[in-house]
């Protein structure tokens, strides 16, 4: 029996749910059995769950073994759930509100320099999307916000102030939107009449250019994805987070990344290939890297190709359909930070 049907059956049997059961009803953890099998949690080892969300991964790791988990999330709204897990798994679970790009500093502040595994489950959680007030969903009327944490600029600041060229670049690079220029032009025209404040105002403008559908999906999907990535600097965080994860992994430690769109997956794939000696940019005698660069790879790929969720998981949780999982093992070679990043 898989996790979902186990939890469903338990919740049908009992009038009261424990915290982890409630969590799994609000956000079904994606590819959790694959994550656990690559992480292979063991007693006394410490793992970082860099995207705590509703705690699905953290609680699964803590239940699977007597391991320790340090969880990170940039969203203050998950702190209540984290407190429950701190009570349930006393002494084995700690939550830190931060960006996972700061993983190295977060661990150093706790006098920890090494962990045996790091997991990132990228993007936003179901409650973040489902809460209209957060402004992530083109299907719900709400403020055009889209911030994972309540600091910094909002999506409405971007659509109301960015130049046409900048908007087009955001939609093209972060959303693969081929009609990016036309949409940007329409946004500039609309905001002259009235600045954008809500999600539905933006949806209306995108639909006016593209029609409501683009193939099978709503034509506003890519624009919303692109703005979310830009507002939260998701690409910058991912690149820094991957570098940081590599620095804190002990030899033999596991790095597992679950992505939900091609841009993220390409970054993870390139990073894994580069550090495992698979890509053209990896360490070779032709590489212009200084001689202190290790000749041996610092990662060993556990997934030569990205793994996709099983059909049965997609059937039970359609939000898993675009997930891709990549996993790698930290080798014994000392870390060298590539000067130009990924
Ligand atoms: C897909 S959800 C994770 C769900 C979680 N694995 C679970 O099973 O409940 C992604 C979470 O990661 C957080 N997040 C995304 N990017 C982050 C970053 N750079 N640093 C810290 N948290 C981040 C989001 O706020 C969100 O809560």
Ligand 1 contacts CB of residue 228 (under 6 A): no
> Does a structural domain hold residue 133?
no
Q: Which residue has the tokens 């999600």?
A: 199
Instruction: Examine the fold and report which residue of 216, 231, 246 is the final residue of a domain before the chain moves on.
Output: 231
pLDDT in tens, 298-320: 999 999 999 999 999 999 999 99
If you measure from the C-alpha of residue 83 to the centroid of ligand 1, how many angstroms do you get, rounded to a whole number? Answer: 16
Domain CATH for 207: 1.10.150.170
317 in a structural domain? yes
Task: Give residue 51's domain range.
Answer: 3-126+235-330
CB of residue 237 inside a 6 A radius of ligand 1:
yes
Burial class (CB in 10 A: 0-12, 13-18, 19+), 296: exposed
Q: List Cα–Cα distances, 15 to 21, 89, 268, 308, 325, in angstroms.
A: 12, 22, 42, 35, 35
Instruction: Name the region of 238 (left: φ>0; alpha: ψ -120 to 50; beta: rest).
Output: alpha
Question: pLDDT band for position 22 (50/70/90)?
Answer: very low
Residue nearest to atom 12 of ligand 1 (CA): 51
Is 240 found in the same domain as 118? yes
214-216-217-222 Cα dihedral, nearest 10 degrees: -50
240 lines ligand 1 (CB under 6 A): no
The answer on 87 and 37 residing in a single domain is yes
Interval 126-172: pLDDT, tens: 999 999 999 999 999 999 999 999 999 999 999 999 999 999 999 99
Helix (H, G, I), strand (E, B) or coil at 254: strand
Q: Establish how many alpha carbons lie within 13 A of residue 118's alpha carbon, considering only the half-sphere containing its beta carbon.
A: 29
Q: What is the 201 CA–ligand 1 centroid distance (Å)?
A: 27
**Inside any domain, residue 340:** no
Domain for residue 137, yes or no? no
Q: Confidence class of residue 109 from pLDDT cuts 50, 70 and 90?
A: very high
Say how many Å lie between the CA of residue 171 and the centre of ligand 1.
22
Q: Do 324 and 244 lie in a common domain?
A: yes
Residue 12 located in a structural domain: yes
Question: CB of 95 closer than 6 A to ligand 1?
Answer: no
Answer whether 124 contacts ligand 1 (Cβ < 6 A): yes
Specify the residue with its C-alpha closest to ligand 1, atom 24. 124
In a domain? residue 183? yes
State pLDDT tens for residues 74-99: 999 999 999 999 999 999 999 999 99
Same domain, 246 and 170: no
CA count, 13 A, side-chain hemisphere, 25: 12
- pLDDT value at residue 291: 52
* Cα-to-chain-centroid distance, residue 90: 26
Whether the per-residue pLDDT at 288 is higher than 80: the answer is no
In this predicted structure, what is the pLDDT of residue 280?
A: 61
Q: Mean pLDDT, to the nearest integer, of 106-133?
A: 96
Last residue of a domain, one of 231, 250, 268: 231
Residue 18 belongs to a domain with what CATH number?
A: 3.40.50.150
- Is the same domain home to 322 and 191? no
Same domain, 227 and 241: no
The answer to whether residue 83 sits within a structural domain is: yes
To which H or E segment does residue 259 belong?
A: strand 249-259
Could you tell me the two tokens for 147? 């911030």
Q: Does 78 sit in the ligand 1 pocket, CB within 6 Å? A: yes
> Can you tell me the distance from the alpha carbon of 278 to that of 297, in angstroms, rounded to the nearest whole number?
9
CB 28 within 8 A of CB 56: yes
Q: Are residues 222 and 256 in the same domain?
A: no
Q: Kindly state the tokens that stand for 296.
A: 């041996």
Q: What's the mean pLDDT when you consider all of the chain?
A: 89
339 within some domain: no
Same domain? For 185 and 37 the reply is no
What's the distance, CA 297 to chain centroid?
A: 25
Is there a single domain that holds both residue 180 and residue 76?
no
The last residue of a domain, from among 165, 200, 231: 231
DSSP state letter for 75: -
Number of domains in the chain: 2
Based on the fold, state whether residues 275 and 227 are members of the same structural domain: no
- Closest Cα to atom 14 of ligand 1: 51
Tell me, yes or no, whether 225 and 250 share the same domain: no
Q: Tell me how far the alpha carbon of residue 185 lies from the centroid of ligand 1, in angstroms.
A: 33
Substitution site in 19, 29, 32, 53 for ligand 1 pocket (most atoms within 8 Å of beta carbon): 53
Q: 68 forms bridges with which residues in the sheet? A: 46
Take atom 7 of ligand 1 and give the residue whose Cα is closest. Answer: 56
75 CB near ligand 1 (under 6 Å): yes
Q: Are residues 118 and 156 in the same domain?
A: no
């Amino acid at each position: 029996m898989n996790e979902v049907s186990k939890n469903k059956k338990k919740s049908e049997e009992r009038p009261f749910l424990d915290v982890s059961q409630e969590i799994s009803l609000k956000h079904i953890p994606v590819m959790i059995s694959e994550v656990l099998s690559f992480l292979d949690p063991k007693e006394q080892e410490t793992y970082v769950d860099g995207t705590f969300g509703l705690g699905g991964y953290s609680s699964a790791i803590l239940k699977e073994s007597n391991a320790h988990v340090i969880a990170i999330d940039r969203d203050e709204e998950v702190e209540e759930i984290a407190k429950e897990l701190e009570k349930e798994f006393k002494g084995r679970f700690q939550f830190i509100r931060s960006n996972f790009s700061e993983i190295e500093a977060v661990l150093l502040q706790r006098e920890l320099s090494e962990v045996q595994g790091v997991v990132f489950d990228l993007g936003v959680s179901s409650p973040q999307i489902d809460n209209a007030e957060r402004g992530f969903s083109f299907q719900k009327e709400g403020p055009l916000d889209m911030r994972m944490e309540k600091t910094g600029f909002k999506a409405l600041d971007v659509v109301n102030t960015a130049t046409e060229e900048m908007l087009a670049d955001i939609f093209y690079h972060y959303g693969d939107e081929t009609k990016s220029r036309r949409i940007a032009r329409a946004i500039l025209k609309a905001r002259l009449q009235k600045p954008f404040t809500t999600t539905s105002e933006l949806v209306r403008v995108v639909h006016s250019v593209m029609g409501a559908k683009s193939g099978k999906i709503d034509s506003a999907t890519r624009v919303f994805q692109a703005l979310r990535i830009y507002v939260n600097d998701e690409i910058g965080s991912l690149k820094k987070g991957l570098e940081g994860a590599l620095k804190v992994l002990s030899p033999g430690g596991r790095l597992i990344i679950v992505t939900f769109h091609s841009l993220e997956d390409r970054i993870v794939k390139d990073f894994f290939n580069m550090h495992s000696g698979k890509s053209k940019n990896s360490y070779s005698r032709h590489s212009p890297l200084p001689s202190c660069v290790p000749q041996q790879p610092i990662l060993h790929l556990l997934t030569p190709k990205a793994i996709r969720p099983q059909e049965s998981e997609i059937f039970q949780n359609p939000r898993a359909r675009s997930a891709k999982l990549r996993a790698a093992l930290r080798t014994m070679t000392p870390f060298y930070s590539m000067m130009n990043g990924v």
